[in-house]
Structure 1
Amino acid sequence: MTVPNVLAVVPPHMGGRAAGTALAALLTEHARVTVVEAAGEDPQALRQARAIITALSPVTAGHLAAAPELELVQCASHGYDYVDLAAARRQRVTVCTIGSSDAERKNVAEQTFALMLALAKQLIPAHTALARADWALPRLQPSITELSGRMLGIVGLGAIGREVARRAAAFDMTVQYAGPRPAPAEVELRLGARRVDLDELLRTSDYVSLHAPLTDRTRHLLDAERLALLKPTAFVVNTARGALIDQEALADALAAGALAGAGLDVFDPEPPTAGLRLLRAPGVVLSPHVGGVTRETVVRIALAAVQNVTEYLAGRPPRDAVS
């Protein structure tokens, strides 16, 4: 029997070759694995690959065209915006995520609340001031707020959005959500979540948390016009994809005091360039896309991706196919 070839693509900012080698070790009984940091790095391996596992590294139309044996692109994430779906469809290549796995959704929900709490309690300016022996309580106190009793607006009530809504109940928050389709009635009832249109959500929420996939329709979903709908006391939290927000427009709004702050775990591009204004904008709490990255989560993500690939190579239907 011919041993299938698999290409594992892990860019440096996601762990590079070391992480890719650890992932490849899970596949050694099922496939011959080549580890690269970019899909086009090893043209021969790309040409021979029957499957690609990619960890937030682009798989472009050019890469797909250079891979005549390719049948499956497995994203080691809930998102898939870094794969050219149109080209994959043309070449009849299946693209899958780990969407039905709970590998990272609980941790992303925790990261969402870490950012929300840091914003509400002004943890970054408090820490920075106190590290300079500056007892900043009188200056910070007017801007310190509570989560209890506040309205949380969730954009995208998918697997991660629902985890966020569940945790909001523990903080005694009210939840509303926006999305292209209503959640099942029993889900809304269980989560205490009410569906509204996006503009109403932005006008009435104290915290807006983004959990939508990045597509052509959702790119810059929060542009200057929509950011202007937010209350000046509102906070925006993004643990989904950086390009859901027009980053320049968000920097402008923060600089003008048009909203209270933003908690960001994702950027466009990643890693962000040193010139990105958001890195120095007032009222921001930043983290380097760690929402889905803990010791435990990395293992679960790798196992979920590898399981889908091995099942596909064994002739079983793939799970979480988006193309």
Structure 2
Amino acid sequence: MKKVLLSEKIDDKGIQLLKDNGFDVHISAGTDIETMKKEIKDVYAVIMRSSELPAEVIDAGENLKIISRNGTGINNVDVDEATKKNILVAKVNGANAFSVAEYVITTMLMLSRKVLASNKLIHEKKDQLTEIGSLPGFSTQFNLNGNELRGKTLAILGLGKIGRELVKLAQAFGMNVVGYDPYLKESPVKLYKKLKDIYPVADFLSINMPLTAETKNMITANELATMKDSAFIINSARGGIINENDLAAALNADTIAGAAVDSFNPEPPTPNNPLFTSKNTILTSHMAGTTIEANQALGLGAAQAIIDFSNGKVPEFPVNQEILASENK
């Protein structure tokens, strides 16, 4: 019986699908390097969530044939090392696209309508509310009257499946949507050819690109300085794309109006991460794409990749396809 190791637990339906197809499923006792090296030694396949799978762990997998990523991003897996070892890396595309797009809209609304500020003040000043006279008066007094999304410009960096879902949701709110994606030939919205040109027009900027050598530290103080002081940034992609020190400084200096950050660099964030104390910042626990519905789809997709590979089929979303070519020679 082929053994499958889960670095962290996936959705129960994904686990059951593996068991129904004759696999022996184990959940790792931990995600640290030494534990994973021991756990991975005799497994046929491993499913990774967001923890790291470095070269030394991959090398310890004496029988490892496939690494299946329970998600889209593969920056936590050493793909080069897997390729050297003739191990296929597969991922799941699009299963959480709606969840991430919905998160972006949710945080845009929270920031634009000043939901967190209103919640905080109404709790802090609960004993003074009757003296103020009316809640609308309270909102006016403390500058809590926010703005609508309608008519505002949303700039989306990356128009893959998530970006395209976001386009539909934003347009339903009456927003003007523009985008940047150098790999796209056709787009549902106006595309900017140069990144530097999109920052000044954005009322909201949504980062929906993978972390690569090209996108690492893509947004720094220089780019933030070109944005409207009323603009908001939402990063539901990967930490490292936007410089966190520069973002915190821009928020505290009112260079931009606010931000929502779901991914960090490193992750989890350290206690001294400057975003913990920056102004008007929503911080969430890498939850944009982890709704119950998305987790189920991701777990099933990651499991199916292993089942397909074991049966001699090509998984739907292989990453290092050269492995498949070498096996067919």
User: Is the pair's TM-score, using the shorter chain for normalization, greater than 0.5?
Assistant: yes
Q: Is the 8 A contact 1:121 1:144 kept in 2?
A: yes
- The CA deviation at 1:123 is 0.5
Q: Which has the larger radius of gyration?
A: 2
- Aligned ranges 1:312-323 → 2 under 5 Å: 312-323=309-320
The 3-state SS of whatever aligns with 2:233 is strand
- The CA deviation at 1:193 is 3.5
TM-superposition CA deviations, 1:63-93 (whole Å, max 9, x none): 1111132221111011111001221222222
The 3-state SS of whatever aligns with 1:243 is coil
Answer yes or no: is 1:196 the counterpart of 2:187: no
Match among 244, 251, 257 for residue 248 of structure 2: 251
Q: Is the 8 A contact 1:223 1:249 kept in 2?
A: yes
TM-superposition CA deviations, 1:34-75 (whole Å, max 9, x none): 211326415454122221101111110111111132221111
- Aligned ranges 1:64-143 → 2 under 5 Å: 64-99=58-93, 102-132=94-124, 133=126, 136-141=138-143
Query: What is the rounded CA distance, in whole Å, between the counterparts of 2:11 and 2:162 in structure 1?
Result: 25
Do the aligned partners of residues 269 and 42 (structure 1) sit closer, same or farther apart at CA in structure 2, a change above 3 Å counting? closer
TM-score (norm 2): 0.87
Do the aligned partners of residues 74 and 246 (structure 1) sit closer, same or farther apart at CA in structure 2, a change above 3 Å counting? same
Q: Which moved more, 1:250-259 or 1:23-32?
A: 23-32
Do the aligned partners of residues 299 and 110 (structure 1) sit closer, same or farther apart at CA in structure 2, a change above 3 Å counting? same
Q: Is the 8 A contact 1:165 1:193 kept in 2?
A: no
TM-score (norm 1): 0.89
Aligned-pair identity in percent equals: 28
TM-superposition CA deviations, 1:227-262 (whole Å, max 9, x none): 222121111001111221110110011111111110
- In the alignment, which residue of structure 1 is the partner of 2:19? 28
Query: What is the rounded CA distance, in whole Å, between the counterparts of 2:98 and 2:200 in structure 1?
Result: 28
Answer yes or no: is 1:53 the counterpart of 2:47: yes
Query: What is the rounded CA distance, in whole Å, between the counterparts of 1:110 and 1:35 in structure 2?
Result: 30
The letter of the residue matching 1:89 is T
The RMSD of aligned alpha carbons is: 1.9
Q: Is the 8 A contact 1:24 1:35 kept in 2?
A: no
Query: What is the rounded CA distance, in whole Å, between the counterparts of 1:197 and 1:139 in structure 2?
Result: 42
- In the alignment, which residue of structure 2 is the partner of 1:290? 287
TM-superposition CA deviations, 1:151-192 (whole Å, max 9, x none): 1110010110111111111011111111222242xxx2xx33
Do the aligned partners of residues 253 and 279 (structure 1) sit closer, same or farther apart at CA in structure 2, a change above 3 Å counting? same
Q: Is the 8 A contact 2:47 2:302 kept in 1?
A: yes
Do the aligned partners of residues 69 and 119 (structure 1) sit closer, same or farther apart at CA in structure 2, a change above 3 Å counting? same
Q: Which runs of 5+ in 1 are unaligned?
A: 11-16
Q: Is the 8 A contact 2:159 2:208 kept in 1?
A: yes
- The CA deviation at 1:268 is 1.9
Task: Give the count of matched residue pairs.
Answer: 307
The 3-state SS of whatever aligns with 1:148 is coil
